[in-house]
Amino acid sequence: MLREALRIGSRRCYSYKSVRRPNLGASSAPKVEPAKEQPGSSPAVENGHGSLAKQLRAKILATGPIPVAEYMREVLTNPQAGYYMNRDVFGREGDFITSPEISQIFGELVGIWLVSEWRKMGSPSPFQVVELGPGRGTLARDVLKVITKFKAGAEFSMHMVEVSPFLSKSQAQRFCYTHNTVPEDSQLPHYQVGTTATGTKAFWHRRLEDVPQGFSLVLAHEFFDALPVHKLQQVDGKWQEVLIDVASEGEQLDFRYVLSRSQTPVSSVFRPMPGETRACLEYSLETERQVGILAERIERDGGIALIMDYGHFGEKTDTFRAFKQHQLHNPLLEPGSADLTADVDFKLVRHTAETRSNVHCCGPVEQGLFLQRMQGEARLEQLLAHALPENQDIIRSGYQMLTDQDQMGSRFKFLAMFPGVLASHLDKYPVVGFS
């Protein structure tokens, strides 16, 4: 059966977010000026781009320029006006399209991968399926179908980590039969519960820390690229932070970049990874924090984590960008009206996981390779054999979009995390998709 997403995926005018920023050179950095004592006023904001721009402006005028990370966090997840908080941002009517929405093959193969690695670990039961930032809940739904089919009597529950009240409802509608909001004063670690058509319990949490302890299969697709990044530049041998100030009078943008005049909390604690050669980079303290928690859980409670996102291995310098209606958009214009994102630094993810806990990481490998190694073509042929002739092009082009080198095949990467005690077992029985 076809889904609307496949139709969207086949149209090349809808973009996925890994589309590169134009004019990115090896050492490119945003245009920055030294911070001024008195920021100017911005008519653009005064004319009104919504409450978020006003709030940010008031804050900067009161306390001075803010880190890019703080700007990104406010723009994406401010409880009242944050980009993700109150609407569906995906697909044709939204701003971008993601792999699980493009083809069901994506979620099915991820589900099969999880089941096969879980079986290699002795099929522990009960277990938890955890997803960080599930969007519309499409990946969770496709993975749930596969796990329900192949769990062979094991017990499991679903745990969604989601900040957006609006999206948590969309997710529940996508894969639950019934769902309810939990009263605010309940003191429970979840804010919404649901039950799937086959009786599996689903829980929604605001933070990974709130997910109960236990053996977990954790998925994060296009989650880490939404976590705030700090922008740092080396000036005279010292790391300094790029901040966001209000724009000067007459400027078209609402805000502008400035270089901090003195050390900021992050620039003073930042320690580059061994072998760092970049003079400007993006550093996600929040990614480091969440990966640290994830790795600790995998080591302590057992489980597997699969991180899927667009990213690099510690070589890119300036990837912070915005998307609006499938087009690149200036991140400093009309905050809250467009998605903000930055490429995931997989070197930082791997380094953090392996240095903070005893975990064994595989990858990153390219999405195209992973899906091919997971027999994506065979699944494609199967789907084509059962599809109506008028739907076949759409199914084929969806899979091509996921795997082609010039589309999502090479820019999106997969990184897996296992308990460190399994390292030699995994050498003997290699992890499918990664070798």
Q: What is the DSSP letter of 339?
A: E
| Distance between CA atoms of residues 128 and 202, nearest Å | 10
Interface with ligand SAH includes 341 (CB under 6 A)?
no
Q: What is the DSSP letter of 278?
A: -
| Distance between CA atoms of residues 435 and 432, nearest Å | 6
* Smaller CB separation from ligand SAH, 302 or 363: 363
Candidate list 121, 226, 333, 348; residue touching ligand SAH; CB under 6 A: 226
CB of 284 to ligand SAH, least distance (A): 11
Question: Residue 16 is encoded by which pair of tokens?
Answer: 């996925």
Decide the pairing of beta strands 344-345 and 303-312.
parallel
Interface with ligand SAH includes 221 (CB under 6 A)?
yes
CB of 323 to ligand SAH, least distance (A): 11
- Amino acid sitting at position 70: E
Interface with ligand SAH includes 223 (CB under 6 A)?
yes
* Smaller CB separation from ligand SAH, 100 or 331: 100
Interface with ligand SAH includes 167 (CB under 6 A)?
yes
Interface with ligand SAH includes 399 (CB under 6 A)?
no
Candidate list 91, 133, 303, 336; residue touching ligand SAH; CB under 6 A: 133
Interface with ligand SAH includes 39 (CB under 6 A)?
no
Site for ligand SAH in 272-311 (CB under 6 A): none
Say if CB 216 and CB 9 are below 8 A apart.
no
- CB-side neighbour CA atoms (13 Å) of 118: 28
CB of 425 to ligand SAH, least distance (A): 30
**Residue among 339, 297, 305 nearest 417 (CA):** 305
Interface with ligand SAH includes 357 (CB under 6 A)?
no
Compute the C-alpha angle 408/411/412, nearest 5°.
Answer: 75
| Distance between CA atoms of residues 310 and 203, nearest Å | 27
* Residues in contact with ligand SAH, shown as a per-residue x/- string from 57 to 76 under the rule CB under 6 A: -------------------x
CB of 402 to ligand SAH, least distance (A): 12
Name the 3-class secondary structure at 334: coil
Give the residues lining the site for ligand SAH (CB under 6 A).
76-77, 84, 98, 100-101, 133-135, 139, 161-164, 167, 221-223, 226
